[in-house]
Chain A
Amino acid sequence: MNLSNSNSLTFQELILKLQAFYAERGAVIQQPYDVEVGAGTMAPETFLRVLGPTPYKVAYVQPSRRPADGRYGENPNRLFKHLQLQVILKPPPENVQDLYLESLGAIGIDLRQHDIKFEEDNWESPTLGAWGIGWQVMLDGLEVTQFTYFQQCGGMDLDPISVELTYGLERLCAFLQDVDSIYDIVWARDPMIGGEKTGKEVKYRDVRLAEEQQFSVYNFEAADVQSAWKHFELCEAECKALIDRYAALGKDKSDEQKIHESMQRLDKIQLADVAREKSRFPLLGAYDLCLKCSHYFNILDARGAISVTERVGVIARVRALAVGIAKAWMDQQYSSEEQNIGQASKPGAKEEKGKLAPVVT
């Protein structure tokens, strides 16, 4: 058996291979979302994209921060921040399991030499009002991927559903490189210097250890609880205000409609204004604020500042934001023609509708 490290993919090659695999199958390769999230699911490319009817395929690496999971860089298997390769296929193709298995082939795993099992594991995120049905994919006893058929997101039934594939990249790479500690993973290998192979290696440790150490200290010891609460509340209040304002736009409109019907004075221009206001309303900004809340919650949790009693309540507060945004997003992106009457009257409005529609299908 050949278990030598030098033949297996480096960490970055693993990422590149997986991205190439999904790019070749028509997915948008997105970049990591630049707001702290606990999982790839929380990035808008998943949370908002799975809503509504528009098909979409996307893959991206998402650094996922879980402050309570930090171990000061001392535990070989646990990290405060790990990398996920997140894939969303909407709707899932019929052969989605085969497609997934092929992706393992693409990173050099000959399945005929390994043991692969799909074991029941359903996924739920109370914070996002989201859940799905699926499996943890076990490769020689190691959980390498979470495979989920989304059923609900933001408290809404999905139609069509999406499949979410979440590859735990560190785990997968440690398996491929046959190392016992994540920190021993070869992140990059210098291929050539002056036409000569040096094989000089940069390890996961070199890239990330300091981050693990310092953020463990920050999250467990240094983070200021009072400020974190304040941040949480500020973000929550602003997010809520935005959601309320969006909802009020709808109300204004229906009031105006009433006036229109009774007095026949309101002209189409005013209705169009409302529709325009809606279509440019910064729900994405609101969602960032919701993600911030979730992150501050995680820090407070790691600091031990949230009792089990409070926990449920705080999670419910974040969920209320996420659900509110999801509802508003559905309205903004997918509401019916009449509601977008103003938009429809403008040239190019059709294209604008569902403007995050897929580039590749």
Chain B
Amino acid sequence: MADFLLEIGCEEIPARMIDAASRELRERLNTLLLRERLEPAGAISHLDTPRRLAVLASGIPAAQPDITERVNGPSAHVAYKDGQPTPAAHAFAKKVGVDVGNLEKVSTPKGEYLSATVTRKGRTAAEILAETLPKEISALYWPKNMYWRKRGEVFVRPVRWLVAMLDEQVVPLELFGLAAGKTSRGHRIIASDSVAISKPSAYVEALRGAKVLGAAEREQVIRKALDAATRTIPGARWREDKPLLATVVNLTEFPSAILGSFDPEFLDLPEEVLVTVMRDHQKYFAIEDVNGKLLPHFLAVLNTAADSDGLIRHGNERVLRARFNDARFFWQTDQKQTLRQRVDLLRHVTFQKDLGSYYDKTMRVQRMASWLAETVKQSGMAIRPGIVHKAALLAKTDLTTELVKEFTELQGIVGGLYARVQRLDEDMKPDVQLAVSRAIYDHYKPESMEDDAPATVEGAVLSIADKADSIAGMFALGLIPSGSKDPFALRRQANGIVKTIAEHKLPLRLSEIMADARVRYHGSEAEKKFSNASYPESVRSFFRERLEFYLKDARGYAYDVVSAVLAVDSDDVVDAVARAEAVSKVRGSADFESISSAFKRMKNIMRQASEKTKVIALRVDPVGLQEESEKELAALIPQTAATVEKLRAARDYEGALLEIAKLRPAIDKFFDKVMVMVDDDNLRANRLALLQTVVKEFSTIADFSEIVTEGKESTK
């Protein structure tokens, strides 16, 4: 048994790539060890920093176990002549490395054969690892690769050293022009460059001595350091930010943290701007008071032991001051022109090369959003169309501001902030102005499935119109996302529409939204470039996928429930959610299971019938039915259908489904007693009509045949 260590020493690996690569390296090593019969006794552990990926496997066999196997040779009557071994026997003996005298005979159904017991020596772990690991390392996936020695030999950044050891011995692997050794490297600045590793089990401690810590420990150290620095300010706490923490963990080998301050005057700038500068541009943590209000301090995570002279703090404060000054400069410059005045500037900002300017887009979105708002209002929901109208006009104007040019991630937010502080209209009431600014602020939301939908219904409608306009234009141009290609993030935008409709429970149908969005391009220059003749179909199937994704991934409904629900209708988001909810509730019950199986059976029979081009009667003729059970079922349908339809119309889907479940005894009895595909043409046609009626009348909420029932494999 031996311990194994592999360390790939690299120039700084991008922080965002380290965790996934580490995981993959461990998996590759594990698979390799199992495949080569070198299963480790202990677990595979790891240590990753920006400059290294290391894996440790404890208790690896020194070599593969020997394999003893029986090898059969020529048949006995060929191998021996007159009791003496023939050349065939000698040849076999030579091949398996056994004395002719020690060859055995085995009886097989085909007769007696020569045989030998052969032991194949296992190869040493060192030999196997040296031979196979280079391939595994080279095969690691990186989102972006480079070459530095020769073309075709790629890795994420230049590899500068390799450590590969089994206990005290070097595993002689070679890669990237390097031979593995026993020397690692410490922290770039505060430790000695060369770190001797005596054996794998001493690796972690040796690195700690050279100021290099593993990721879990770095995270702990950073959290503690952030806590300690924050404690110097009474009542303060640092803003938890998981992605930022993950980033700084992977930007450091030996972290510490400092508390810096900035001029409280900068707090006049909106918090969104300050936090974006600190987090996205400087990777600083923000600090807030007990009420969540931003304090004029920040925390920077360092890749060094300490800042004893305060030089690092001083430098970071200087940089942040410059950045905040920039932001303030932009903010002030931007106020020289109001959002209202900027509407015209949008003529010079291209939305998309064939779809015209943002001014054109604004005009389309404004009309569309107003129409959506009216539609929503007519359904009785509380909404103020005037606010939508106003917000739509100003929504894109922040694209012309310096602040958004500098901090593009703040688009929408900046517009919202400016709309709050500027005078938008003579005699606009404060509450109206606030609502307008809120709608603008939110209109890019939700930017992901985790992100919130716009807070207000006005913001929701504006967000939908804006996204629908983009999708409509792109689809009409034929720029439809496919596979990994979605350069305009249309899927994300469509997800946003679905989520917003669902969460605000808006009475809007996807096909109507998209048809209206398309209509807004009528007569435009852009329309001349439109090439997609099957716009409605392509939009419909695109949104069906998005709705499916939403129901499954965001709402967590089972895939068969989602399929069943969408088979009926995929246009009304709110309704689809309600039906999925109802089906999910009842699907476990015995009656419903049975109904689902029965529907599957009915559909199969119908399919067979259509394949064999059998006639289905236009309607059921009760007189033509023979068996008691089928007559009973036929009689039951009209009244149940009426009840179900009433419940369905009232959107009591669960009630309707329970009503359908009551059909179970009748349906079960039907299938017990009745054979559908009989020879009698009239009778068969009549029975098929009966099945068709059942399927049609009771598939208005979900297509039950899609539901996976006990013991049945799904078709998908």
B residues within 8 A CB of A77? 322, 325-326
Inter-chain contact A119/B348, CB cutoff 8 Å: no
- Asked whether A140 and B326 contact (CB < 8 A) given A119-B251, A161-B148, the answer is no
B157 at the interface (CB under 8 A from A): yes
A interface residues, tally (CB under 8 Å): 41
Given A116-B303, A122-B144, A159-B150, residue A142 in contact with residue B157 (CB < 8 A)? no
List residues of A (98-138) whose CB comes within 8 Å of B's CBs: 101, 111-120, 122, 132-133, 135
Flag whether A149 is at the interface (Cβ < 8 A).
yes
Contact status of A178 and B318, CB under 8 A, knowing A1-B310, A76-B325: yes
Decide: B320 and A141 in contact? CB cutoff 8 A: yes
Interface hit among A26-34, A55-63, A307-315, A340-348 = A307-315
Contacts of B671 in A (CB 8 A): none
Residue ID in chain A nearest B258 by CB atoms: A115
State whether the Cβ of B50 lies closer than 8 Å to any Cβ in chain A.
yes
Instruction: Give the docked Cα–Cα distance between A115 and B350 (Å).
Output: 42
Query: CA of A178 to CA of B320 in the docked complex: distance in angstroms?
Result: 13
In the assembled complex, which residues on chain B have CB atoms less than 8 Å from the CB atom of A111? 189
Q: Is the C-beta of A180 less than 8 angstroms from some C-beta in chain B? A: yes
Residues from chain B with a CB closer than 8 A to the CB of A149 are 146, 148, 158
Query: Contact at B353–A133, with CB atoms within 8 Å?
Result: no
Task: Let me know if A119 and B15 touch, CB within 8 A.
Answer: yes
| Contact status B311-A140, CB under 8 Å | yes
Tell me whether B189 and A97 are in contact (CB under 8 A): no
Of A140, A161, A178, A307, the contact of B312 (CB 8 Å cutoff): A140
Q: Provided the pairs A94-B160, A116-B188, A178-B318 are in contact, do residues A309 and B353 lie with their beta carbons within 8 angstroms? A: yes
Are the C-beta atoms of B302 and A115 separated by less than 8 Å? yes
Contact with A along B297-313 (1 / 0, CB 8 A): 00010111001111110
A118 to chain B, nearest CB (A): 4
B311 touches A114 (CB 8 A): yes
Mask of B311-339 contacts with A, CB within 8 angstroms, 1/0: 11011101111100110010000000000
A161 to B154, CA, bound (A): 13
Whether B683 sits at the interface, judged by CB under 8 Å, is: no
Given A3-B314, A122-B144, A140 and B309 touching (CB < 8 A)? no
Contacts of A204 in B (CB 8 A): none
A75 contacts B16, C-beta separation under 8 Å: no
Asked if B612 is an interface residue, CB under 8 A from chain A, the answer is: no
**Nearest CB in chain B to that of A68: its residue:** B405
Distance between Cα atoms of A113 and B312 in the complex (Å): 7
Q: For the complex, is B11 an interface residue (Cβ under 8 Å from A)?
A: yes
Query: A77-B325, A118-B12, A133-B146 are known contacts. Are A1 and B189 too (CB-CB below 8 A)?
Result: no
Q: Is A304 located at the chain interface by the 8 A CB criterion?
A: yes
Q: CB distance B309 to A113 under 8 Å?
A: yes
With known contacts A120-B15, A161-B148, A312-B353, A76–B322 Cβ distance under 8 A: yes
Those of A131-166 within 8 Å (CB) of chain B: 132-133, 135, 139-142, 149, 151, 157, 159, 161
Question: What CA separation (Å) do A307 and B353 show in the bound complex?
Answer: 9
Residues of A within 8 A of B300 (CB): 115, 141
Residue numbers in B under 8 Å from A157 (CB-CB):
151
Q: Pick the contact of B147 from A122, A139, A161 — CB < 8 Å? A: A161
- Docked Cα-Cα span, A120 to B282, in Å, equals 13
Given the complex of chains A and B, what is the CA–CA distance between A111 and B189 in angstroms? Answer: 7
Within 8 A of B (CB), among A235-263: none
Contact assessment for A113 and B311 in the assembled complex, using a CB-CB cutoff below 8 Å: yes
**B350 with A112: CB separation less than 8 A:** no
User: Considering only CB atoms and an 8 Å cut-off, how many residues of chain B contact the other chain?
Assistant: 47
CB <8 Å contact, A115 and B310: no
With a cutoff of 8 Å between Cβ atoms, the chain B residues found around residue A304 in the complex are 348
Contact of A139 with B315 at beta-carbon distance under 8 Å, contacts A111-B189, A119-B251, A307-B348 already known: yes
The interface residues of chain B lying within 8 Å CB-to-CB of A117 are 12, 251-252, 303
Do the beta carbons of B316 and A140 come within 8 Å of each other?
yes
Segment 224-277 of B: residues with Cβ below 8 Å from A: 251-252
Residue of B nearest to A161 (CB): B148
Closest Cβ of chain B to A354, distance in Å, is 21
Report B-chain residues with C-beta under 8 Å of the C-beta of A118: 11-12, 50
CB-based nearest A residue for B303: A117
B190 within 8 Å of A by Cβ?
yes
What's the Cα separation between A119 and B11 when bound, in Å? 11
- Determine the chain A residues whose CB is within 8 A of the CB of B312 once the complex forms: 113-115, 140
Give complex CA distance A101, B15 in Å.
20
- The yes or no answer to A92 lying at the interface (CB within 8 A) is yes
B314 close to A1 (CB less than 8 A): yes
Query: A92–B326 contact, CB under 8 A?
Result: no
Q: Chain A contacts of B147 at CB under 8 A?
A: 151, 161
* A75 to B151 Cα, complex, angstroms: 44
A175 interface contact, C-beta 8 A: yes
Q: For chain B, residues 580 to 612, give those with C-beta under 8 angstroms from any C-beta of chain A.
A: none
Known: A117-B252, A117-B303, A309-B350. 5 other contacts (CB 8 A): A120-B12, A140-B311, A140-B312, A140-B315, A151-B146
27 of the cross-chain contacts (CB-CB < 8 Å) are: A1-B309, A77-B322, A78-B326, A94-B158, A94-B160, A101-B189, A112-B190, A113-B308, A113-B309, A115-B307, A117-B12, A117-B252, A117-B303, A119-B12, A119-B251, A120-B12, A120-B14, A120-B16, A140-B316, A140-B319, A142-B315, A149-B148, A151-B146, A157-B151, A175-B318, A308-B349, A312-B353
Binding site for A on B (CB under 8 A): 11-12, 14-16, 50, 144, 146-148, 150-151, 157-158, 160, 188-190, 251-252, 282, 284, 300, 302-304, 307-312, 314-316, 318-322, 325-326, 329, 348-350, 353
Q: Which A positions have Cβ atoms within 8 angstroms of B?
A: 1, 3, 75-78, 92, 94, 97, 101, 111-120, 122, 132-133, 135, 139-142, 149, 151, 157, 159, 161, 175, 178, 180, 304, 307-309, 312
